[in-house]
Structure 1
Amino acid sequence: MEQLTLLLFERMGLLLLITFILTRIPQFRYLLDRRMDWKTGVTFSLFFGLVSIGGTYAGVTIGEEGIGSYFFAASLGPDEAMADSALIGIVMAGLLGGVAVGTGAGILSGVHAYWMGGLTGAAEAWSTPVIGLLAGLVARFFAEERVIAPVKALFISVFAPVLQMGVILIATESSASAIRMVNLIGVPMVVANSIGVGIFVAMILAVLREEERASASETQRALHIAEMALPYLKQGLTFETAEATANILRRELRANAVAVTDTEEILAHVGIGTTSLFQGERIKTELSRKAIQTGEIQIAKAKEHIQPQHPALGAAIIVPFRNGGQVAGLIKLYYHSVRQIRPVEEAFAKGLSKLISIQLDIAMAEELRGLMKDAELKALQAQINPHFLFNTLNAIVTLIRVNPDAARRVTVQLGSYMRMNLTMTQSPLVPLYKELEHLQTYLGIVHIRFEDRLSVKCVCEPGLEAVAIPPSTLQPLVENSIHHGLKGRTGQGEILAALRRGGDGVQVTVEDNGSGFPARLLDKLGQVPAHGTESTGLGLYNVNRRLINLFGPGSRLRFSNRPEGGARIEFTIPYQADERRESTNESHDS
């Protein structure tokens, strides 16, 4: 028995070596990836059936005279049997391919066993399909695993030779020769086949891990190259950016030459055959035009399909890349021979094309978001000025009738205010001292209208003068207190604007001693551009939107009513300096 076991292991090793080589063929991945249809099922039934037949021929002949010494047995005598590793192929077919593949491989192996004859031929003819069927059913319990673990496969496969030995005894009616044969080959076949299945599964897992590592490495490599080339491609396709991109690709991909084109002409060519005459040359080859039209990678396998033509360049991969859904240009990777373009190069080129296209689309989306945000901020800023201008012009119309001198002073102040406003709104942020100057100009207009009925005090903590703030932020808040908070008040109105350092930010508070905000509007203020006699109009909404867009939700306006009466508006901006600081204003009182 020990000698038979050793012989089985020796010959099983040769079988596993052959199957390991077979697992390297690309078609084998279809089974591992569970992409199963009837064609794939038939193909792999034949594959594993042939593995099983190979295991039979690699077995050891057992007869009346003992263990046979020859390696290949074409047929068996009536009293002979094979101690083999044929069940490895059958069990693997069921575990990897399921019921259909396992049964198909078992039928093929069973027909071969019946054709070889011998003492066990008839029993194996119908036991092997049953074993394949059962292996496929067992595999359903491990459907979530891509490949069953080797230890699990080893223990599951123990049942196969045990079942086969039982069938042999039943088919031969437990004859003396059958019992002697089962006692001789049973244990060696259980050990050899179960260990063989475990090794086979371990080999498949090793192949998969190797491919996954290679795929991860190539993906990381493609992403690295795309990240290096993106800063140049984002600047647009010019001769300079194309040349920089081509140099990166040639260095990283180790191609013999690299060219970058737009949809019309060659922008850069580096490597073999480089000459300045290529820059600006029109795209001529049919494959390049086809790549631009279809957006699909093309392989140039003949010199006549290569541009520019050079004796040392015999093949190329033409990789289109997109921007905004349209083909924006080509990357051409040149090689000495078509033999250098392996499937891994083609797969890498496809990945590189997708990565560059995705990165360009992301860059375009970011640019569009920036433009839209800037446009929205400018639109919000533009809405504040007409709102204030409308109120001031109404006041001038009133003063012309009752106090022409005051109307003239207000008009002069308005002109000064608008000039300052035009200067400030060129940027989304201004130094705080300029914002306070802007507010003082506005208050100069307001004081002419309200004279001694209004007191506005601005307090700015020292050291905050250069902090960046959106222009025309304080003026709309003070204006809201004047026109809404103090509306209908008979006594003197008081407004306080305070700016103090708090942690990593600057806390800004504007409060008045008016009637306060209506309770039902507190949750809505600044969220929608409300209108109506009790609303705060567009001013608060626009200020709130600009603060959120520039600094985030943490800088939104917060509205409340003071316990002693009146309204309070608060917000916080980051403590960040504006480099355009020109002067300082520590406090303003009016």
Structure 2
Amino acid sequence: MHYSADMMFHWLDNTAQLSQRVCVVLIAAHVLIRMEWLRQALRGDPQYWRNRLICSTFFGVFAIIGTHSGFLLDVHQVGKRIAWPADLSDTLKHTQAVIGFRDLMVLAAGLSGGPWVGFGAGLFAGWERYLLGGFAGSASAFSTVIQGLWAGYAFSWRPCWATGMRGAAFIALTGTILQKLILLLWVQPYVDAQTLVLETAMPVAVVNTLGVLLFLFVMQDLERDRLRNQAQQAELRALNAQIEPHFMNNTLNAIKALIRRDPEAASQYVVKLARFLDDTRRSVGANSISLQQELAQVERYLAFQGLRFPETFQFQRNISPQPLHCQLPPRCLQTLAENALLHGMQGLTRPLKIDIIGVDHGLTLTLRVSDNGNGIPAPRLSELGKRPVDSVNGNGSALYHLRQSFNLAFPRQSTLTVNSWEGHGTEVILTIPKRSTPW
């Protein structure tokens, strides 16, 4: 009876201490998962070796932290706290074992990325446990690899287990049982193996199960972020795909009038319009296009406006060839050109000048769209881009949606600045990181 009471006390004490340390490590993991490159690997195709390597390393490092965040026990002095060796290169004594949460992170690896990620993380952390030596070092290392494979194959056979609380809890408990069985079958003397299993079974089972469930919530939070971003991207693509009805109607009427004066020029404008609509249609399914494609669309759009308003505005671009391959959200420059015409030219007695200037800064690209139009009143200027605002010529949402596009594409890496001088003109400055591959 006294032995049972001591065992229960050890279980409660070990569970409480391990749970505190697990929470700290899971918070650190949650913070790191917010990094874009890691999120892409975790939510990317697990068949790609690069994603497998990144995920295996991530979980393997945290599994090693799980080993060293635990505590040591001596199978001949159960209940006695033992300090870790001062030098990490020192091995454990032959009667010393580790109670940690290494297996929790390996199980999470398999549940997140499948067999290869579970195997990779298990091999990484298991090899480090083997090098530590001590009691049951080889058996613990082997069982770590087995647990990663078990969770990974469970994820492949029953994907719903990896997203449901019951399934994840079952995988964690079964993995813990597998580990304890390996210890009993492998380690000698059997009495010492039995002592180790009795001392660690309950704390490790509770910590593994609760830890896997907590990590499941972390991954679900990541999935919710991904779905929310996808929904926002879909909404922005739908907005980008819209062709302003008045623009289409006015352009067709202008081409119709041109047919009487210059049929050859009218034919060329019909070809330009077809190309403009075709490129707009293709951008519906794209989150990004090249700067060169965007400039081509802007030039076509302004060509149609020039057909309607001959000699009322001028357009000039000054961008070197080097950054033309850089990717940016569709219609961003076209939106700014539309705004310049819509708001800057109304009632203007002088020709409107629109300039697009690009400056390559190496890692970043600055695009400046400026005009010499009417300018924007100060009260309205302070609201632009922050929220949709009332407008005589529209709903004032173009800059707001443009800012959303840049926030999604370049989180905390882009800036959109609007400067305006009433009666003298407006400039919009976009600064974005240079990316050459679509997203």
TM range (shorter): 0.5 to 0.7
Choose which of 297, 311, 315 in structure 2 pairs with 1:456. 315
Choose which of 459, 473, 480 in structure 1 pairs with 2:339. 480
Q: Which residue is equivalent to 2:330?
A: 471
Task: Verify the 8 A CA contact 2:294 2:333 in the aligned structure 1.
Answer: yes
Shift of 1:362: 2.3
Pair 1:413–1:502, CA change in 2 (3 A) = same
Deviations 1:556-576 (A, max 9, x none): 321111487111111101123
1:225 aligns with 2:106: yes
Q: Which residue is equivalent to 1:540?
A: 399
Choose which of 286, 294, 297 in structure 2 pairs with 1:438. 297
What CA distance in whole angstroms lies between the structure 2 residues aligned with 1:256 and 1:411?
65
Q: Which residue is equivalent to 2:248?
A: 393
Bigger CA drift: 470-479 or 375-384?
Answer: 375-384
Task: Verify the 8 A CA contact 1:321 1:353 in the aligned structure 2.
Answer: no
AA aligned to 1:371 is: L
Task: Verify the 8 A CA contact 1:429 1:469 in the aligned structure 2.
Answer: yes
Deviations 1:384-430 (A, max 9, x none): 332x4323123146547855658876554332112112333433222
Q: Which residue is equivalent to 1:234?
A: 112
SS at match of 1:419: helix
1:568 aligns with 2:427: yes
Deviations 1:317-345 (A, max 9, x none): xxx97635443453343425794632313
What CA distance in whole angstroms lies between the structure 2 residues aligned with 1:243 and 1:344?
23
Task: Verify the 8 A CA contact 1:321 1:354 in the aligned structure 2.
Answer: no
Pair 1:246–1:555, CA change in 2 (3 A) = closer
Task: Verify the 8 A CA contact 1:516 1:562 in the aligned structure 2.
Answer: yes
Choose which of 354, 378, 381 in structure 2 pairs with 1:522. 381
Shift of 1:483: 0.8
What CA distance in whole angstroms lies between the structure 2 residues aligned with 1:567 and 1:575?
25
Pair 1:32–1:403, CA change in 2 (3 A) = closer
Choose which of 252, 260, 263 in structure 1 pairs with 2:141. 252
Shift of 1:461: 2.7
Q: Which residue is equivalent to 1:128?
A: none
Pair 1:465–1:255, CA change in 2 (3 A) = closer
Superposed CA RMSD: 4.6
What CA distance in whole angstroms lies between the structure 2 residues aligned with 1:432 and 1:408?
27
Shift of 1:450: 1.6
Larger-Rg structure? 1
Task: Verify the 8 A CA contact 1:322 1:357 in the aligned structure 2.
Answer: no
What CA distance in whole angstroms lies between the structure 2 residues aligned with 1:466 and 1:376?
25
Q: Which residue is equivalent to 1:327?
A: 167
AA aligned to 2:112 is: K
Task: Verify the 8 A CA contact 1:555 1:573 in the aligned structure 2.
Answer: yes
Task: Verify the 8 A CA contact 1:480 1:536 in the aligned structure 2.
Answer: no
Pair 1:32–1:541, CA change in 2 (3 A) = closer
Pair 1:343–1:414, CA change in 2 (3 A) = farther
Pair 1:346–1:321, CA change in 2 (3 A) = farther
1:360 aligns with 2:202: no
AA aligned to 1:578 is: T
Task: Verify the 8 A CA contact 2:376 2:421 in the aligned structure 1.
Answer: no
Pair 1:219–1:557, CA change in 2 (3 A) = same
Deviations 1:164-223 (A, max 9, x none): xxxxxxxxxxxxxxxxxxxxxxxxxxxxxxxxxxxxxxxxxxx78549999x96345245
AA aligned to 1:25 is: D
Pair 1:492–1:255, CA change in 2 (3 A) = closer
Pair 1:259–1:458, CA change in 2 (3 A) = closer
What CA distance in whole angstroms lies between the structure 2 residues aligned with 1:256 and 1:370?
30
What CA distance in whole angstroms lies between the structure 1 residues aligned with 2:307 and 2:147?
73
Identity of aligned residues (%): 21
Deviations 1:350-393 (A, max 9, x none): 2222333333332333233223212312211211332x432312
What CA distance in whole angstroms lies between the structure 1 residues aligned with 2:161 and 2:199?
20
Q: Which residue is equivalent to 1:510?
A: 369
Q: TM-score scaled to structure 2, two decimals?
A: 0.61
Task: Verify the 8 A CA contact 2:106 2:118 in the aligned structure 1.
Answer: no
1:341 aligns with 2:211: no
1:384 aligns with 2:240: yes
Pair 1:322–1:208, CA change in 2 (3 A) = farther
Deviations 1:437-491 (A, max 9, x none): 2222222222211222111111103421222211211101101101111112132
What CA distance in whole angstroms lies between the structure 2 residues aligned with 1:255 and 1:220?
11
What CA distance in whole angstroms lies between the structure 2 residues aligned with 1:256 and 1:493?
69
What CA distance in whole angstroms lies between the structure 2 residues aligned with 1:256 and 1:517?
65
What CA distance in whole angstroms lies between the structure 2 residues aligned with 1:258 and 1:325?
18
Deviations 1:51-104 (A, max 9, x none): xxxxxxxxxxxxxxxxxxxxxxxxxxxxxxxxxxxxxxxxxxxxxxxxxxxxxx
SS at match of 1:465: helix
Unaligned runs of at least 5 residues, structure 2 = 17-78, 86-91, 127-138, 186-192
What CA distance in whole angstroms lies between the structure 2 residues aligned with 1:554 and 1:323?
32
Choose which of 517, 530, 549 in structure 1 pairs with 2:408. 549
AA aligned to 1:389 is: E
Task: Verify the 8 A CA contact 1:429 1:471 in the aligned structure 2.
Answer: yes
What CA distance in whole angstroms lies between the structure 2 residues aligned with 1:251 and 1:430?
51
What CA distance in whole angstroms lies between the structure 2 residues aligned with 1:457 and 1:444?
12
Pair 1:523–1:448, CA change in 2 (3 A) = same
Correspondences of 1:370-381 after superposition (within 5 Å): 370-381=226-237
Q: Which residue is equivalent to 2:6?
A: 25
Task: Verify the 8 A CA contact 1:384 1:542 in the aligned structure 2.
Answer: no
Deviations 1:510-561 (A, max 9, x none): 1111111121111211121234306663322211110111112452321111
Pair 1:571–1:481, CA change in 2 (3 A) = same
Deviations 1:262-292 (A, max 9, x none): 9xxx967xxxxxxxxxx98x9xxxxxxxxxx
Task: Verify the 8 A CA contact 1:321 1:356 in the aligned structure 2.
Answer: no
SS at match of 2:285: coil
AA aligned to 1:451 is: P
AA aligned to 1:327 is: G
